Amino acid sequence: MATQKKALGKGLGSMIPDKRPATAKIDKKEAIDDNSEKIVFLKTNDVEPDREQPRKFFDQDAILELADSIKQNGILQPLLVVKADGYYKIISGERRWRAAKEAKLKEVPTRVMNHLSDEEIARIQLIENIQREDLNPIEEAIAYKSLIDRFKMTQDKLAETVSKSRTAITNSMRLLNLNEKVQEMVVEEKLSTGHARALLAIKDQEKQYNAAQRVFDEHMSVRETEKMVKKLINEKDEVKPVKNEDDERLNIIYHDMEEKLKQTMGTKVSIHQKSKDAGKIEIEYYNMDELDRIMSLLQSIQTNI
């Protein structure tokens, strides 16, 4: 049985009251007056997304399905936009706009909301996405942090705005302390928020990422993840053996190899010894052009072998 979503307190509804039925289809010939804002049709190419919009990831298959629906039924709810420098910036409705473009619509129904402040726009975007459950946990956390940083909001005030508990806001924002690669795993739904919160207890970023990979590879439950994390935290550091002359000699050899590889690759190269006869080589790059250069170099070496 479907459950009704909880209304979001003093959020979107109180800012923009909507007198029309939710399923009312907009007729291009009509001009519906609603809260002193009229429905106007703008050229699709004159409308653009807001770079500050909290939602960054869109399911392309879902966009195509919505495009098919729009071809049959039109856009049932207008986009909210604000006039910017030479274009109209989307406040709400980027998914509908993307689908409209896929459907080859030349015009989209909009409500131009120029009376809204930047803070009100940011609140509307966040509240709508939360209400529709469109944000992944990392996007939601970033959006909370952005509102707090940009508008000097307290967590209590933010919690009241989005009808969440202060604890929920705090727990959400804690996810931003995760290793960036672990955050990506959450975005890609390789890890749940329960897994992610358990991994937060591992402060070492590299160990945290390695643990996250293990969770994913071994299909661990949240409870199993918590047990693994507890075990990792409680493990005592192994006593490192005193280096002998052979170890010192190997260190010199590895250092010399690193220097030669740095000269060949044109970037920082590190050799990490795991055992007497095994280890790994790390090659660093700082932008995509440099990565392409390194790949071309490696391919040329392989071709000459």
Give domain status of residue 82, yes or no. yes
Q: What would the pLDDT profile of 128-160 be if each residue is shown by its tens digit?
A: 666 665 678 998 888 888 888 877 888 898 888
Number of domains into which the chain is organized: 3
Give domain status of residue 137, yes or no. no
Residue 190 and residue 271 in one domain? no
Amino acid at 117: S
pLDDT at 11: 37
Residue 17 and residue 69 in one domain? yes
pLDDT at 215: 95
pLDDT at 108 over 90: yes
Residue 275 and residue 221 in one domain? no
pLDDT at 244 over 80: no
Give domain status of residue 255, yes or no. no
Residue 18 and residue 114 in one domain? yes
- Residue 274: CB atoms within 10 Å: 8
Least confident of 76-85, 95-104, 167-176, 269-278: 269-278
Residue 101 and residue 25 in one domain? yes
Residue 200 and residue 100 in one domain? no
Cβ atoms of 103 and 75 within 8 Å: the answer is no
pLDDT at 121: 76
Residue 93 and residue 183 in one domain? no
Cβ atoms of 229 and 198 within 8 Å: the answer is yes
Residue 115 and residue 61 in one domain? yes
Residue 116 and residue 154 in one domain? no
Residue 23 and residue 102 in one domain? yes
Residue 178 and residue 272 in one domain? no
Residue-number span of the structural domain to which 204 is assigned: 147-233
Give domain status of residue 41, yes or no. yes
CATH of the domain at 68: 3.90.1530.10
**117 or 195, which is more confident?**
195
With both helix axes pointing from N to C terminus, report the angle between 166-174 and 137-151 in degrees, rounded to the nearest 10: 110
pLDDT at 161: 79
Give domain status of residue 126, yes or no. no
**Of 203, 155, 214, 210, which Cα lies nearest the Cα of 178?**
203
Residue 33 and residue 116 in one domain? yes
Amino acid at 288: M
Give domain status of residue 128, yes or no. no
Cβ atoms of 55 and 139 within 8 Å: the answer is yes
pLDDT at 28 over 50: no
Give how far the C-alpha of residue 30 lies from the chain's centroid of Cα atoms, to the nearest Å: 38
With both helix axes pointing from N to C terminus, report the angle between 155-162 and 118-131 in degrees, rounded to the nearest 10: 60
Give domain status of residue 224, yes or no. yes
**280 or 208, which is more confident?**
208
pLDDT at 55 over 90: no
pLDDT at 227: 93
Residue 279, token pair as written in the block: 């280890």
- For residue 271, count CB atoms less than 10 angstroms from its CB and return exposed for 0-12, middle for 13-18, buried for 19 or more: middle
Of the residues 193, 218, 233, the one at which a domain ends: 233
pLDDT at 283 over 60: yes
Give domain status of residue 134, yes or no. no
CATH of the domain at 217: 1.10.10.2830
Confidence of residue 172 (pLDDT cuts 50, 70, 90): very high
Q: Known catalytic residue: 94?
A: yes
Which position among 30, 48, 52, 94 bears the catalytic label? Answer: 94
pLDDT at 245: 62
Average model confidence (pLDDT) across the chain: 77
Residue 184, token pair as written in the block: 């990506």
Confidence of residue 205 (pLDDT cuts 50, 70, 90): very high
